[in-house]
Structure 1
């Protein structure tokens, strides 16, 4: 008997990634999971704008977008109760501000299996707030 994977169908996920090929690949994979992708956006200000529009189930955010770090808007995204996964070429949490070291993160390059696992763990868990 096969156990069905949890469904990501219909989840609206904000994708913030400034590398065009990576953005396209991740968008395609997320769509393959059944997600509706908002973006991809390549600027911190655009990520904030989309998050404030609401209706998102989560966000996949690259740390560095066109030379600007995403950390400046994370407090606001947290206020919005947005579930966040940080993507970075650096896997060392000590390089991140201490307040954000416990956020789920995915080190680049990552594969489809790793992306699905972290999406399931982060975006499907229920809020306890």
Structure 2
């Protein structure tokens, strides 16, 4: 299955506090046929969306204005929703307990984003 096909029709929660980055992710995902849930720029908003929305997968910026998105990841894991983290710090930037989670290294290109989310959805 191609990355475009694997994202088509999927609902992806985007948790990102940088507006430009969130808009870029949203554009890429919608170009690939996905529906974006959010984007959420605050932990509280992300938790509300994680609890109340139908979501196929999520992309979580590790750090939202100094707060870790680990609580959102925990909520998604409890619901059985796959997710990937995005960070510029590599695996050392991942929250404790999530070191083996899929990772999108910032800065990224379109194919990096689609590949990580496609693999996340297939897992």
Equivalent-residue separation in structure 2 for 1:39 and 1:95 (angstroms): 23
Equivalent-residue separation in structure 1 for 2:48 and 2:58 (angstroms): 13
What is the aligned partner in structure 2 of residue 114 from structure 1?
A: 112
What is the aligned partner in structure 1 of residue 51 from structure 2?
A: 52
User: Is 1:5 the equivalent of 2:11?
Assistant: no
User: Is 1:33 the equivalent of 2:32?
Assistant: yes
User: Is 1:102 the equivalent of 2:100?
Assistant: yes
User: Whose helix proportion is higher, 1 or 2?
Assistant: 2
TM score, norm. by length of structure 2: 0.91
Which runs of 4 or more aligned residues in structure 1 lie more than 3 Å from their structure 2 counterparts after TM superposition?
A: none
Aligned pairs for 1:51-90 (under 5 A) are 51-90=50-89
What do residues 18-53 of structure 1 show as CA deviations (whole Å, max 9, x unaligned)? 001111011000100100001111011111110111
State the 1:71 CA deviation: 1.3
State the 1:74 CA deviation: 2.2
State the 1:54 CA deviation: 3.5
Equivalent-residue separation in structure 1 for 2:66 and 2:92 (angstroms): 19
Aligned length: 121
Q: Which has the larger radius of gyration?
A: 1
State the superposition RMSD in angstroms: 1.4
5+ residue gaps in structure 1?
none
